[in-house]
Amino acid sequence: MKKQAVKLVSGREQERATFSPDLLTRIHDVTPAEVKALPTFQYYSDEQVVQLISTIKTFTQIGYSMFYEKQQEEEAKVFNLSDNSPKQNVA
């Protein structure tokens, strides 16, 4: 079996390389050949590999959705405490 080199990149580089700017759509999917090149999955059938890829994509989408919702909640909690603009009294 042919060995495959793996390039290690920082998280930020990987994020830019893997996702489009909106972070929701991947630029490319992992291929069945790439999965089967890994020793753990070398004996998986084509159907099993396709199911594995689908499962990982679903799990990732769920995880990202949860993370994104949490980020939105945190951003919604931010408000300015130092609002020193003049207030007008209503009589």
Angle at 4 between CA 55 and CA 60, to 5 degrees: 20
Which SS3 state, helix, strand or coil, does residue 32 take? helix
- 64 assigned to some structural domain: yes
- 81 assigned to some structural domain: no
- Count of structural domains within the chain: 1
Structural domain containing residue 17: 12-73
Largest CA distance in the chain: 85
- 57 assigned to some structural domain: yes
Identify whether the C-beta of residue 18 lies closer than 8 Å to the C-beta of residue 26: yes
| Secondary structure (DSSP) of 56-70 | HHHHHHHHHHHHHHH
In terms of Cβ atoms closer than 10 Å to its own Cβ (0-12, 13-18, 19+), residue 87 is exposed
**Global model pTM greater than 0.75:** no
Predicted pLDDT of residue 25: 61
2 vs 84 pLDDT, higher one: 84
pLDDT of 71 higher than 90: no
Q: What average pLDDT does range 43-67 have in this prediction? A: 91
pLDDT band (50, 70, 90) for residue 49? very high
pLDDT of 6 higher than 90: no
pLDDT of 15 higher than 70: no
Predicted pLDDT of residue 4: 47
